[in-house]
Amino acid sequence: MTEPRAHATTIVAVKRGGGVAIAGDGQVTVGDVVMKHHATKVRRLFRDRVVIGFAGAVADAFALFDKFEQHLEKHQGHLLRSSVALSKEWRTDKYLRHLEAMLIVTNGAQLLVLSGEGEIIEPDDDIASIGSGGPYAHSAALALLENTELGAEEIARRSLEIAAQLCIYTNDSITVEWITPSLEAAT
């Protein structure tokens, strides 16, 4: 029998107002027990020019953060090239292909969802979400984006607050990071 793994849950990203906000809740769950309430699942990488959020197994996500940052360095911060390189390695490497996590990455200009199946998805509606509360947060973000003038940060925060009311694996201890495109990312 395998031990239950620590999982971290809901991330939502919203593109509006010349940049992208990524928000993550703070809950870490092992099996059906909440082990941590204030985890940080959204981080800045590559000289603070890339923001990344994760859902899934915590240790797996940290391994992917390190790999992604290596690819960012190798490709001078080019988000799409780094994402393609990570996805190829993630899908084909004997160790990495067993990692259970999903990532949302942005440089403020591009917004991408990455998975171990090799997917690199750029959302159509300027919203990306992952994790068990992702569908709730996505729906809330879409409604707020289409029906309010709120900024991306506020939409991301409110969307997670709504998801936390519905999803037992999501809480309202929220971290939000806002990023605007650097000159290199915009071109």
Tens digit of each residue's pLDDT (9 = 90 or more) over 16-55: 999 999 999 999 988 889 999 999 999 999 999 999 999 9
* Active-site annotation holder among 2, 9, 10, 29: 9
Residue 174 to residues 20, 81, 92, 134: CA-CA distances in angstroms? 16, 30, 34, 14
Secondary structure in 3-state letters for 22-60: EEECCCEEECCEEEECCCCCEEEECCCCEEEEEEEEHHH
Range of the domain at 161: 6-181
Tens of pLDDT, residues 138-161: 999 999 999 999 999 999 999 999
CATH number at residue 96: 3.60.20.10
Q: Given pLDDT bands bounded at 50, 70 and 90, which one contains residue 103?
A: very high
pLDDT for 37? 94
Show Cβ contacts of residue 15 under 8 Å, excluding neighbours closer than 6 positions.
106, 111, 126, 127, 152
Whether residue 65 is predicted with pLDDT greater than 70 in this model: the reply is yes
Report if residue 57 sits inside a domain.
yes
Whether residue 5 is predicted with pLDDT greater than 80 in this model: the reply is no
**Number of neighbouring beta carbons within 10 Å of residue 163:** 31
pLDDT for 32? 83
Nearest Cα residue to 44 out of 25, 29, 22: 22
What is the Cα–Cα distance from 60 to 132, expressed in whole angstroms? 17
Average pLDDT of 95-118? Answer: 90
User: Do residues 61 and 103 lie in contact, with contact meaning Cβ atoms separated by under 8 Å?
Assistant: yes
DSSP state of 95: T
User: What average pLDDT does the chain have?
Assistant: 91
Helices 134-147 and 152-166 cross at an angle (nearest 10°) of 140
Domain count, the chain: 1
Report if residue 1 sits inside a domain.
no
Report if residue 17 sits inside a domain.
yes
What is the rounded radius of gyration, in angstroms, for the C-alpha atoms of the chain?
15
Whether residue 184 is predicted with pLDDT greater than 60 in this model: the reply is no
Report if residue 132 sits inside a domain.
yes
148 is catalytic: no
Q: Which residue has the higher pLDDT, 1 or 20?
A: 20
Q: Which residue has the higher pLDDT, 180 or 92?
A: 180
Report if residue 186 sits inside a domain.
no
Report if residue 187 sits inside a domain.
no
Average pLDDT of 91-117? Answer: 89
Q: b/e string for 175-185 if b means 16 or more Cβ within 10 A?
A: bbbbbebbeeb
Show Cβ contacts of residue 96 under 8 Å, excluding neighbours closer than 6 positions.
63, 64, 67, 89, 90, 116
Whether residue 96 is predicted with pLDDT greater than 90 in this model: the reply is no
Report if residue 147 sits inside a domain.
yes
Tens of pLDDT, residues 115-135: 878 899 999 999 999 999 999
Please state, for a pLDDT cut of 70, what percent of the chain lies above it. 93
